[in-house]
Chains A and B, each alone.
Chain A
Amino acid sequence: MDRDREFGEYVDARALVMRRTAFLLCGDWHRAEDIVQNALAKLYVAWPRVQRSGTVDAYARKVLVRAAVDESRRGFFRRERAVRDLPDTAVSPASPDLDVRRALAALPSGQRTVVVLRYWEDLSVGEVARLLGRTEGTVKSQAAKGLAALRSLLGDPALEERP
């Protein structure tokens, strides 16, 4: 079947990259695979349409990001450890052993998503805004705040936006 063959070739070519993006969005390799599989299943349904319109990558990115956002919102009782009381101390903003992953995890989900799309997926502010259904101003603001937070968390004031 052409659909399965073409879709299979796309999965072979893109699944790894999609999983990396999903990992940066959620911070867990297993959840990243789940997110990618969900996104790919949705892509399969829309395959003839998006292929005809030449928007396969854009659609794949859209369903991936939405799957990641949805996954982060729902079913947190199944995913996270519930605690009875609030921790005594908040995350230290300048902890020296805070690595990139923990720094990303400490970002609010909106900022994290924008940072990943903007600087990992290399999308323009306009593209990110369209993808997330936000204004360009919001995207710019969240990207700036996200970078500032990463600089602060990682203790790297020289962290730059572009090479």
Chain B
Amino acid sequence: MTDIRTLLTSALDDEPPLGIDKARVIGRGRKRLHLRAWMGAAAVALVLAGGPVAYHAVDRPASWLPTALPPAPPTSDQHAAELTKVLDAANRPFTVVNKGDHYAGERTMVMESNPPITITLIVEVRWEVYRPCDDCEVIDLPDRRLVVHPSDGLRREVSAFLPDGTHIRVISTSDTPRVPPERVETLKTYASLPGLTF
């Protein structure tokens, strides 16, 4: 009969020497303290200045977003390669493919588990006019509108609409509620990358 704690202890058999540098940890802690103080001051300044970033609880049309678009420019493998480079340059390795009417890159991750868990991340660059979305959170940035779609726990989506007609869709899915898809903040980062244009 094995005691569970003894069993867990046996998992630590090949423990390497501790590599945690106390001075470095303290340095990181100090940086965090300073960053927090700076962020607090910046947030106050932003509020006092009116703020270039407007958060809306309810979706509203943005006057600077086009309500109609000319026909989409033709897609090309060359532009797909350029989009791949944009993602690579941001340390987000994706191979973007020309899908005819849009561009798309997809990564699938299989986590070792029983059964295996599959998580996907899809980035699409489309040519689409902005349409209001019920129940979405809308975030207006200086150069684009981010739309965070409601999540069912297995799928998360963040869209970005640019004034030039580009619509970036970033979608992450998981096949089990035990491991959630990529975080909304991560999807926002993708949707905010400069250079992802149709």
A-B contact count (CB 8 A): 144
Q: Which residue of B is nearest A107, CB measured?
A: B113
Q: What chain A residues lie within 8 Å of B36 (beta carbons)? A: 45
**B15 shortest CB reach to chain A, Å:** 7
Residues on the A chain within 8 Å of B112, using CB: 91, 105-106
Which applies to chain A's interface (DSSP): helix, strand, loop or mixed?
helix
Residues of B within 8 A of A29 (CB): 15-16
CB distance from A63 to the nearest CB of B (A): 12
A159 x B18 contact (CB < 8 A): no
B7 at the A interface (CB under 8 A): yes
> Is B57 interfacial (CB-CB < 8 Å)?
no
Pull 26 A–B residue pairs with CB atoms less than 8 Å apart, ordered by A.
A7-B26, A15-B18, A24-B12, A40-B20, A40-B29, A41-B25, A45-B29, A73-B183, A74-B186, A75-B186, A82-B108, A83-B109, A83-B110, A91-B113, A91-B114, A91-B116, A108-B113, A108-B179, A115-B4, A120-B5, A120-B8, A154-B7, A158-B2, A159-B4, A160-B2, A163-B3
In the complex the two chains form, is B29's CB within 8 Å of A33's CB? no
Question: Are B20 and A41 closer than 8 Å at their CB atoms?
Answer: no
The answer to whether A41 and B3 have CB atoms under 8 Å apart is no
Are A80 and B109 in contact (CB-based, < 8 A)? yes
Q: Contact between A15 and B4 (Cβ–Cβ < 8 Å)?
A: no
Kindly report which residue of chain B lies nearest to residue A4, judged by CB atoms.
B26
Closest residue to B121 on the A side, CB-wise? A77
